[in-house]
Structure 1
């Protein structure tokens, strides 16, 4: 499949090429890594509709349960396994059926590294590790596909026209204000037109 990828370094990519996740695996990896690191949505909440038990704790009907999805997707690493496995005995049968995603490496979980989403053959792997910017399951964000497509189009077409040069360290932070979604404290870029690069 990767042998049939379009050659687009001599022309802008088409909409069909950008919108297909399998066509441009590194673009997919960059999009997923942007959303993993930015923790766009820090948490989601749900109201319980019946009495239940969560990891051994009784949760009465009508309780609002807050789930911190942002930190899980950004920081859950191999070091989380011991804690998670220690809870195995109190997990429900349905949650013990096997993890669908991997864990991040403790050595680089804090870094922006799109390559973590690529398989050995260079193809994109959406289940390489925890990724929950739109929540998950049938209660996940119904706008996920549209948001991903918009982000793919924006990043791809911007990158075709400009190179994003490094900015000073004091302007390059992950600091943010958390409301319903995260908002950067500072958001600076240094775009340089390709024809002006040395």
Structure 2
């Protein structure tokens, strides 16, 4: 090591260190850690004798080192990812080494821009069904979080499963919140009781997992039993994915990928859409500018995939919402070799977190960072910032495979909603839950006013 400067950090309580702060409000704990100690901070979690050090990285340069330039020193082997692996299988989110490389090669062709653009009509139809349903909203008031979760879940299950959408939506809506909270609690606990013990939390999580597995296994078996299957839903494509080098995915591997896509394909995009609409509902000038762009580009026709490049301001709105509310507020890694991050020594065996929640608010890159300002994402201003100053999809060799899908779905949906309704947000500060993904813990209500379509 070229430096012996210890990593600074809060002392926390004598008994539990910073664990109470993490349990009470981990997002606030990250921000206070950065403001008081800098871009690399050590948090001590748990009681003496069981205390674990967690290193948090709050800079774009540190994020690039961890996720890209020195990524070989950091693996997805930490406690949190192991809990996800135990709950949702060994899909692209959690797999490692040869498993990950093989899975990525088999799955990548399913997420080419051309393939994803082919889902634009289905995404628009699901967004249009939301527009139609809002006409009957009591008092013209809706909960944006609930509505966007329902929309993204219907969209991803339709694209994954095709005709099996209703059964899948019901099971996933019931099961994922249970597994998310369970994983978060076990991932931050100094000691987690064995999953086999019949505690209430263990039993609830086991039921949720069993329901998800049964749903996926049933649908996968039906696909594989079909003599010929030329369906273009993702499950059919996964079942047929094969190469001479990598073989094909067996039923368990297909299920693991499906569960990852269900999680990443609905919770993350729901968060982005919820807060994009919530923020526009508090900023009528920006909302009007976005709507005028939508009206000018679309006129009276439905949006298509090519409109993603024709709606630059609406895309800026979405990116700014994703800056303020990154769906993955922290990205965990296990340190596998003594290394340095931003000049600070980080030992092998430690847990490390790259924290977009703070990087997206770091005043080195963002002036007045809590202010909603889509102009931050003009091409000129984007070019002037470090690559990892904005990273809602992660980065490096493990960057999100579904980035284009998420952007396409979000922009087409926002265009559909804003063309049909004016949005007025009724709630201000929305409490947040940072489980596997960032979600709203309370209602994000908005009053809708129907427009005459151009």
* TM bracket (short chain): 0.5 to 0.7
1:136 matched residue in structure 2: 395
Aligned-partner Cα distance in 2 for 1:155–1:13: 12
Matched, 1:191 2:448: yes
Q: CA offset at residue 18 of structure 1?
A: 2.4
Matched, 1:115 2:375: yes
Aligned-partner Cα distance in 2 for 1:165–1:128: 33
Aligned-partner Cα distance in 1 for 2:411–2:355: 26
Aligned-partner Cα distance in 2 for 1:55–1:10: 50
- 1:14 corresponds to which of 280, 303, 313: 303
In 2 relative to 1, CA 166–189 (structure 1 residues): closer, same or farther, beyond 3 Å? Answer: closer
**Post-superposition CA distance 1:107-133 (Å, at most 9, x none):** xx211121221257xxxx644652111
**Post-superposition CA distance 1:115-174 (Å, at most 9, x none):** 221257xxxx6446521111122222221111111111111111111111242xxx1224
2:438 matched residue in structure 1: 182
- 1:76 corresponds to which of 362, 365, 388: 362
Any conservation in 2 of the 1:52–1:60 contact (CA below 8 Å)? yes
Judging by fraction of residues, say which structure has more helix: 2
In 2 relative to 1, CA 189–59 (structure 1 residues): closer, same or farther, beyond 3 Å? Answer: same
Aligned counterparts, 1:61-100, within 5 A: 61-73=348-360, 75-77=361-363, 80=364
Matched, 1:27 2:314: yes
Q: Which runs of 5+ in 1 are unaligned?
A: 1-5, 81-102
Q: CA offset at residue 13 of structure 1?
A: 4.9
Aligned length: 156
Aligned-partner Cα distance in 2 for 1:183–1:66: 19
- Which deviates the most, 29-38 or 43-52? 43-52
Q: CA offset at residue 31 of structure 1?
A: 0.9
1:165 matched residue in structure 2: 424
| RMSD (Å), alpha carbons | 2.6
Aligned-partner Cα distance in 2 for 1:72–1:172: 23
Moved over 3 A (4+): 125-129
Aligned-partner Cα distance in 1 for 2:424–2:404: 29
Any conservation in 1 of the 2:297–2:311 contact (CA below 8 Å)? no
In 2 relative to 1, CA 117–16 (structure 1 residues): closer, same or farther, beyond 3 Å? Answer: same
Larger C-alpha radius of gyration, 1 or 2?
A: 2
Aligned-partner Cα distance in 2 for 1:165–1:195: 17
2:46 matched residue in structure 1: none
Q: CA offset at residue 71 of structure 1?
A: 1.8
DSSP 3-state at the match of 1:189? strand
**Post-superposition CA distance 1:77-111 (Å, at most 9, x none):** 2xx3xxxxxxxxxxxxxxxxxxxxxx2213xx211
Give the TM-score of the pair, scaled to structure 1: 0.68
Give the TM-score of the pair, scaled to structure 2: 0.32
2:411 matched residue in structure 1: 152
